[in-house]
């Protein structure tokens, strides 16, 4: 995991407001691993606000970045019967950038009445589509807290979402309920937004979305051919993401038994697992690079580990102990 120490390049800010900015991200040019990882630290209302491509950054972890939502597809009209011809759409393009929408942390949502919403994307596995339909049969449907198709619907999103179109289309559905309230189609973090009624565009501007981040455009084998541009430092391993996230890219990870920032020179450092009072050994603990070894004292046997067999007295030691006991008892009887 990233540790508090040495999270940024020397001479670069480590924070913007309350947010720690770990490398490969950096505040300003020259402090990040390429332009796509540059975080702007803007001053707003006497507070520092981190932004990525104009969107506020809410959190950065070892694998993900949380930012405010991307554009929302919006459709407003007052017709209860749709012809199916009106389509509102927008597109987002992260191609060649180190970001993809997380398929596990986000969902696709459509709110409103008589609308078919869908995402159409092109990923490395081919064309992907996610869609759902939101209908209304009564005004009370717009107040329903459940998002199950009545006034609101949701659908999972595909992996590897980097370039996609989002659209809203009227559908042929006759009802006495007006669809005058605006309808919206958008992607958002699963746990961040409870649907109640028809939300407005102002609320949706502040809805978070989770992005998976990575080093783009190469897998490990190709990236390792050029040490000048390869992102992983010493005592790390490279993880391909083509099968994990359906993107062409990789991440760096500290080897087992090491910690630190795997992207920042000189790399990850050994964890001294024998330091402190709570060691993993019941016997003697000896730290080794990336690991440790446990030893039992003379006269004891076992693996010396607290989660293993520990250290037990050998049978020879027990016999000697009993022999001394009987000898003492015999001598006492002669007195």
| Cβ atoms 110, 148 nearer than 8 A | no
Predicted pLDDT at 171: 83
Q: State yes or no: cis peptide before 24, omega within 30 of 0.
A: yes
Rg (CA), the chain: 30
Element at 332 (helix H, strand E): helix 315-334
Q: Which residues contact 185 (CB under 8 A, 6 or more apart)?
A: 72, 73, 108, 109, 110, 115, 117, 118, 166, 167, 168
Q: Which residues contact 328 (CB under 8 A, 6 or more apart)?
A: none
Predicted pLDDT at 82: 45
φ, ψ of residue 20 to 5 degrees: the values are -75, 135
Listed residue (65, 116, 110, 118) closest to 90, CA to CA: 118
Reading the block at residue 83, the tokens are: 């012809």
Predicted pLDDT at 324: 46
Predicted pLDDT at 261: 96
| Cβ atoms 238, 250 nearer than 8 A | yes
38 vs 27: CA distance, rounded Å: 6
Task: Please state, as a whole number, how many other Cβ atoms lie within 10 Å of the Cβ of residue 275.
Answer: 10
Instruction: Tell me the mean pLDDT per 10 residues along the chain, length 335.
Output: 70 94 94 95 90 93 90 68 57 88 94 89 90 80 66 92 90 62 86 62 76 97 97 98 95 96 95 91 94 94 94 69 41 38
Predicted pLDDT at 193: 64
Q: What is the pTM of this model?
A: 0.82
Element at 2 (helix H, strand E): none
CATH of domain 69-212: 2.60.120
Listed residue (186, 158, 177, 45) closest to 102, CA to CA: 158
Q: What's the chain's length in residues?
A: 335
Between the alpha carbon of residue 64 and those of residues 39, 100, 238, the distances in Å are: 15, 9, 17
User: Taking the domains of the chain in order of start, what are their residue ranges?
Assistant: 1-60, 69-212, 214-271, 272-335
| Cβ atoms 292, 274 nearer than 8 A | yes
Chain centroid to CA 139: how far?
38
Predicted pLDDT at 316: 60
Between the alpha carbon of residue 179 and those of residues 13, 82, 135, 136, 172, the distances in Å are: 50, 9, 9, 8, 12
Listed residue (207, 215, 204, 197) closest to 62, CA to CA: 215
Predicted pLDDT at 81: 44
Tell me how far apart the 2 most distant CA atoms of the chain are, in Å.
Answer: 115
**In the block, residue with structure tokens 């391909």:** 240
Element at 265 (helix H, strand E): none
The bridge status of strand 73-75 relative to strand 152-155 is unpaired
């Amino acid at each position: 995991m990233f540790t508090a120490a040495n999270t940024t390049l020397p001479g670069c800010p480590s924070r913007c407001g309350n947010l720690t900015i770990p490398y490969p991200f950096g505040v300003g040019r020259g402090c990040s691993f390429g332009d796509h990882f540059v975080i702007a630290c803007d001053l707003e209302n006497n507070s520092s606000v981190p932004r990525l491509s104009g969107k506020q950054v809410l959190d950065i972890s070892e694998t993900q970045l949380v930012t405010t939502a991307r554009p929302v597809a919006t459709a407003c009209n007052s017709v209860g019967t749709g012809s199916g011809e009106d389509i509102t759409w927008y597109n987002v393009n992260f191609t060649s950038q180190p970001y993809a929408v997380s398929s596990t942390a986000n969902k696709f949502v459509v709110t409103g009445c008589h609308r078919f919403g869908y995402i159409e994307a092109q990923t490395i596995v081919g064309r992907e589509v996610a869609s759902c339909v939101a209908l209304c049969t009564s005004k009370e449907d717009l107040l329903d807290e459940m998002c199950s198709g009545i006034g609101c619907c949701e659908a999972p999103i595909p992996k590897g979402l980097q370039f996609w179109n989002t659209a809203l289309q009227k559908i042929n559905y006759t009802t006495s309920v007006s669809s005058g309230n605006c309808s919206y189609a958008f992607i958002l973090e699963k746990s961040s937004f409870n649907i109640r009624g028809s939300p407005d565009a102002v609320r949706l501007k502040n809805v978070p979305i989770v992005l998976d981040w990575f080093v783009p455009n190469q897998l490990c084998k190709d990236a390792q051919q050029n040490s000048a541009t390869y992102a992983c430092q010493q005592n790390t391993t490279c993880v391909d993401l083509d099968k994990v996230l359906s993107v062409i890219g990789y991440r760096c990870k500290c080897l087992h038994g090491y910690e630190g920032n795997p992207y920042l020179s000189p790399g990850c450092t050994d964890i001294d697992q024998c330091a402190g009072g709570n060691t993993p050994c019941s016997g003697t603990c000896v730290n080794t690079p990336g690991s440790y070894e446990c030893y039992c004292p003379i006269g004891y046997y076992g693996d010396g580990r607290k989660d293993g067999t520990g250290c037990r007295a050998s049978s020879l030691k027990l016999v000697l102990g009993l022999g001394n006991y009987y000898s003492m008892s015999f001598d006492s009887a002669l007195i």
